[in-house]
Amino acid sequence: MSNDESNKYQNSILLRRVLGLSAALAGLWSLNACGGVEPTAEELGTSAQKVTADPAGWRQWTPEPSNSGGWTGGPALCEALTPSGDGYVLVGRSATTNRYRIILRQFFTAATSPADISNLTTFNSKPACTSLDGIHTLDSSLWNYQIAVVGKNASNNQFYIKTMKLDTEPAFLGDPPTQPTTVVNWISIDGNQYASAPAAAVSQAALLVVGRRSDNRLYLHQNHLFILTPIDPFHNSNWEAVRQLPQLPDGYTAAGDPAIADTLPLNGVVTIVTRATKALAATRLYYNFFDSATGTFQSWAQIPISPASVTVGSDPAFEVDLGLQLTTLYFRSGTNCASQPCRVFQSSGYVNLWGPFTQIYDGGPAADTFTDTPAALGNLMLEGHHIVTARNSSGQFITNSTNVGVP
């Protein structure tokens, strides 16, 4: 990549963040792909207008670099922001060692081979991953180019965190980035034990980690990052007192692994989504808002799933398009995946404005069934703008992408 090309690409990243901030500042929501107008921030949860999702543009499922022995559980995805452009980080748990391994893809370059980041620590959950660079600043000199990976330690069921700095050397076509370097090695967030995998996001320069304990209640941890010291943004001693989320309604209890996404970055509002179960009742998905400025939650609300033939067969994955101010929710539909194909479904919308869930499927072989919760990431400047990765029946990660919804 030439210097001019690199400068243009960095400018496009800045422009993307300006557009996202401008939309949030104005309190307006862009036209969605089908022409519907989204509500303002003051109308959270008040409108019943439907948004019809358009899944057109999804490409073929393509394999990520294979891991010897395969993977177990679902993957994690997070943005890999570097001076030479966007990329993504994929983290998974090795099926043979239960250690976390990482794959990086920078700009349009080839991906790296999986590399161990566990340092002999073993885990019994899927990982969570998030960039420690949000849109908290348009000054690239304050970007830290770091990511955080969180997982449930197999020895004590506590959430452990590791931060790493990405390769910031300019990428060239066909030249993959080098593996990230450790900044803070694996350390326990606190002494609590968890029954789920963690979910992680950054909002208004605060790192948020949510998980489910054995009482089937969700708990949120918040750690304010030092954004003016990009070399040293994360301190494990800076966690606030843990917050318990409200009880789910209608006799439902949280199940599986939650998801979290930064849905209103300027206002510091994140959305938490959980799968929920109840005896002799269908599985549901519920969402809740957390306002980091006030430290408060809203009441849980159910996400409508249509058509009736689509059933929730996995935990949710959740991502945000800051340009369109739309969120997209993903899950695997189907439960008996050994005898019938289980596919990934998605719908885009905002709050309770969800259209029908449609299948992400390219007409490939029926053997491409999925066995775990997918991972999703939006707002990339890659080809494509949204990506989803899932583990297939062969134990390997495969990825699909789309540019639909690029602002």
C-alpha–C-alpha distance, residues 199 and 270, integer Å: 12
The pair of three-digit structure tokens given for residue 134, joined into one six-digit string: 């949000």
C-alpha–C-alpha distance, residues 31 and 13, integer Å: 21
Average pLDDT (150-171) is: 93
Average pLDDT (336-352) is: 78
What's 235's DSSP letter? Answer: -
- Where helices occur in 88-197 by DSSP H, the ranges are none
Average pLDDT (293-318) is: 93
Least confident of 84-88, 196-200, 225-229, 276-280: 84-88
Name the helix (H) or strand (E) containing 153: none
**Are 306 and 357 spatial neighbours (Cβ–Cβ below 8 Å)?**
yes
Cα-Cα-Cα-Cα dihedral of 373, 378, 384, 389, to 10°?
-10
Q: pLDDT digits over 59-98, tens only?
A: 888 899 999 999 999 999 999 887 766 789 999 999 999 9
Residue 25 has pLDDT above 50, yes or no: no
C-alpha–C-alpha distance, residues 317 and 389, integer Å: 10
Q: What is the pLDDT of residue 37?
A: 29
Least confident of 134-148, 185-199, 239-253: 134-148
Q: Which residue has the higher pLDDT, 348 or 406?
A: 348
Residue 19 has pLDDT above 60, yes or no: no
**Are 202 and 225 spatial neighbours (Cβ–Cβ below 8 Å)?**
yes
Q: What is the pLDDT of residue 229?
A: 84
Residue 335: other Cβ atoms inside 10 A: 13
Average pLDDT (238-267) is: 93
**E strands within 80-198?**
87-94, 100-106, 115-116, 128-131, 146-152, 159-165, 181-188
The residues, ordered by sequence, that sit 6+ positions from 242 with a Cβ below 8 Å of its Cβ are 190, 192, 219, 220, 221
Average pLDDT (287-300) is: 92
Q: Is 236 helix (H, G, I), strand (E, B) or coil?
A: helix
Q: What is the pLDDT of residue 57?
A: 78
pTM: 0.85
Q: What is the pLDDT of residue 135?
A: 55
C-alpha–C-alpha distance, residues 329 and 358, integer Å: 11
Confidence of residue 56 (pLDDT cuts 50, 70, 90): low
Average pLDDT (37-57) is: 34
Q: pLDDT digits over 117-138, tens only?
A: 999 999 999 999 999 986 555 6
Mean pLDDT of the residues in the chain: 81
**E strands within 40-118?**
62-63, 71-79, 87-94, 100-106, 115-116
Q: What angle do CA 310, 362, 260 make, to 5 degrees?
A: 55
Residue 264 has pLDDT above 80, yes or no: no
Q: Is 368 helix (H, G, I), strand (E, B) or coil?
A: coil
